[in-house]
């Protein structure tokens, strides 16, 4: 038996080799997972989660000690939870924290993010414990109960997220301040430059760099991974007087939108390389093409709730379900273009005034008022990367780590090469046990470093994390 999880279990002294061999044989015979069988054989759940967390380089969760507010289950339908093996555990910091078997499944995380309208953090769980917890929690919700408790959770109040990191087991009561010291918040020009939002960068293919919008005709970028659909839509639009450019995946769509800045993007939801929802979000984060209207197309995510979430969360102007009639598609494209013809940028002057006021409040250590100022700046101009960075720092200084994480993520979307944001975000990921995410973010920071000394410092952080 050379299962890497089994090897770690033996190395950590969690179970004997004989017990692991027995569990592996039973798991193979019953199409089960090794840790699920070890749990049934009496191995402590927290120790098993510790191994899974180490193997997946991210945090885990001991469901036996969790306490869940069952109102959260309304965010994820039972059928989805059972099929995808995930359970909503808390919503600290506006994020949805999920117990999962595959917390690094980016496609699944993207779909949950779309369905719920929340940023998502995944924690690896023992599959057998997770399946049982899903069953018990949704049954309890259907009986009208308000709380689900793991069998070892005690009588505390929800939510209680029993997070487990490799080699360490901790309990975090959601809402509790976990940062004991307010760190200094430097505001030097090298860190955040007022009004210096860097252009959003896409890795454009060579052909995208020479795209030119045809004069006198409105241009539509049609994105679909099925060549037959791309061709049919292109013909219909060209017959209707539009110029058309096409893309076959999410990465190509982002690059061409950045290079071309079309009048409208017709974007399929299920795309290879970059999911359609994420592609839409990245376009809306781009200072160059964030004002371009997007119409989503889908054959999978059906119903008014998906359509509303596509608008509210991802910024799409309309949402068309497949199959559709070309007459209806053309009518809706015309309507969206007419409705967005006079679209203007956010109120930059008002945002700048609130940012300046927030900085003064931060220097006076009046952090709650500074937070309100930065939130007002974002309301005035949602694309102000500086406001998102400063809001993240304020939240971090007051102990709201997950809210700060969300703000830094938004800042990194708007300014992908802003090194201080990337390093701060990586530090937060590492602090909360998301080591794989921390490593990915430091790799991005390494690419953003402008000099040898900075690159060496980032590389040292990355090597320390990977070591």
Name which CATH class applies to 211-339. Answer: alpha beta
Contact present, 218 and 243 (Cβ < 8 Å)? yes
How far, in Å, CA of 416 to CA of 371, rounded?
Answer: 23
Contact present, 347 and 381 (Cβ < 8 Å)? yes
According to CATH, what is the number of the domain 363-466? 1.25.40.10
Contact present, 447 and 134 (Cβ < 8 Å)? no
How far, in Å, CA of 435 to CA of 54, rounded?
Answer: 9
The pLDDT profile of the chain, 467 residues, written as one tens digit per residue, is 567 888 888 888 998 999 989 989 998 898 889 999 999 999 999 999 999 998 888 999 999 999 999 999 998 889 889 999 999 999 988 889 999 999 988 778 877 876 676 788 999 999 999 999 999 999 999 999 999 999 999 888 888 888 887 654 434 344 333 222 333 334 443 344 433 343 333 444 444 444 555 656 889 999 999 888 888 889 889 888 899 999 999 999 999 998 888 999 999 988 888 888 888 888 887 777 888 899 988 765 554 455 455 555 667 888 887 777 778 888 889 888 888 775 555 556 788 899 999 999 999 999 999 999 999 998 888 778 899 999 999 999 999 999 999 899 888 877 777 888 999 999 999 999 898 899 989 998 988 888 888 889 999 989 888 87
How far, in Å, CA of 156 to CA of 288, rounded?
Answer: 50
pLDDT in the model for residue 85: 93
How far, in Å, CA of 103 to CA of 35, rounded?
Answer: 16
Helical spans, DSSP H, in 12-117: 17-30, 34-40, 45-56, 78-84, 106-116
CA 249 to chain centre: 20
How far, in Å, CA of 374 to CA of 380, rounded?
Answer: 10
Exposed, middle or buried, 74 (CB in 10 Å: 0-12/13-18/19+)? Answer: exposed
How far, in Å, CA of 186 to CA of 393, rounded?
Answer: 10
How far, in Å, CA of 178 to CA of 52, rounded?
Answer: 24
Name, in order, each residue with C-beta under 8 angstroms of 438's C-beta and a sequence gap of 6 or more: 426, 427, 429, 430, 465
Contact present, 281 and 257 (Cβ < 8 Å)? no
The domain segmentation of the chain, as residue ranges, is 1-43, 49-173, 211-339, 363-466
- Alpha-carbon distances of 50 from 117, 352, 430, rounded to whole Å: 30, 46, 16
According to CATH, what is the number of the domain 49-173? 3.30.300.160
Contact present, 298 and 268 (Cβ < 8 Å)? yes
DSSP string covering 90-152: E-GGGEEEEEES-TT-HHHHHHHHHHH-SEEEEEE--HHHHHHHHHHHHHHHHTT-SEEE-TT
pLDDT in the model for residue 178: 28
Tell me the CB-side half-sphere exposure of residue 204, using CA atoms within 13 A: 15
Q: What is the pTM of this model?
A: 0.66
Phi and psi (nearest 5°) for 423? -70, -40
């Amino acid at each position: 038996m050379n299962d890497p999880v089994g090897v770690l279990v033996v190395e950590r002294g969690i179970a004997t080799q004989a017990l692991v061999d027995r569990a592996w044989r039973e798991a193979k015979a019953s199409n089960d997972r090794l840790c699920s069988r070890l749990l049934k054989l009496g191995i402590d759940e927290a120790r098993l989660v510790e191994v899974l967390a180490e193997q997946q380089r991210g945090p885990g969760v001991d469901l036996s000690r969790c306490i869940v507010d069952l109102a959260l289950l309304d965010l994820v339908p039972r059928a989805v939870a059972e099929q995808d093996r995930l359970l909503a555990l808390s919503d600290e910091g506006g994020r949805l924290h999920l117990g999962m078997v595959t917390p690094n499944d980016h496609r699944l995380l993207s779909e949950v993010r779309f369905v719920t309208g929340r940023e998502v953090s995944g924690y690896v769980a023992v599959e057998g414990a997770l399946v049982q917890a899903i069953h018990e929690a949704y049954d309890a919700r259907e009986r009208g109960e308000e709380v689900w408790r793991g069998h070892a959770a005690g009588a505390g109040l929800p939510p209680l997220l029993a997070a487990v990191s490799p080699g360490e087991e901790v309990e975090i009561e959601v809402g509790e301040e976990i940062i004991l010291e307010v760190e200094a918040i430097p505001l030097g020009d090298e860190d955040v430059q007022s009004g210096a939002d860097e252009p959003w960068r896409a890795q454009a293919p060579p052909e995208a760099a020479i795209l030119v919008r045809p004069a006198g005709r409105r241009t539509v970028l049609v994105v679909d991974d099925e060549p037959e659909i791309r061709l049919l839509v292109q013909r219909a639009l060209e017959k209707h007087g539009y110029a058309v450019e096409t893309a076959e995946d999410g990465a190509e769509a982002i690059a061409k939108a950045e290079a071309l800045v079309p009048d409208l993007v017709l974007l399929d939801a299920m795309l290879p390389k970059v999911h359609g929802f994420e592609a839409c979000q990245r376009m809306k984060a781009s200072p160059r093409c964030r004002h371009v209207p997007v119409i989503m197309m889908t054959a999978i995510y059906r119903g008014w709730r998906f359509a509303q979430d596509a608008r509210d969360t991802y910024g799409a102007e309309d949402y068309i379900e497949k199959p559709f009639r070309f007459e209806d598609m053309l009518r809706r494209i015309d309507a969206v273009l007419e409705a967005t013809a006079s679209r203007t940028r956010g109120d930059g002057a008002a945002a700048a005034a609130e940012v300046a006021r927030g900085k003064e409040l931060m220097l006076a250590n009046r952090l709650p008022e500074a937070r309100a100022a930065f939130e007002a700046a974002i309301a005035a101009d949602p694309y102000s990367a500086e406001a998102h960075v400063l809001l993240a720092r304020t939240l971090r200084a007051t102990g709201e780590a997950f809210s700060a994480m969300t703000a830094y993520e938004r800042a990194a979307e708007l300014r992908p090469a802003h090194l201080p944001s990337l390093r701060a975000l990586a530090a937060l990921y590492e602090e909360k046990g998301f080591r794989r995410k921390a490593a990915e973010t430091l790799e991005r920071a390494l690419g953003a470093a402008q000099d040898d000394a900075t690159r060496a410092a980032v590389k040292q952080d990355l090597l320390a994390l990977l070591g």
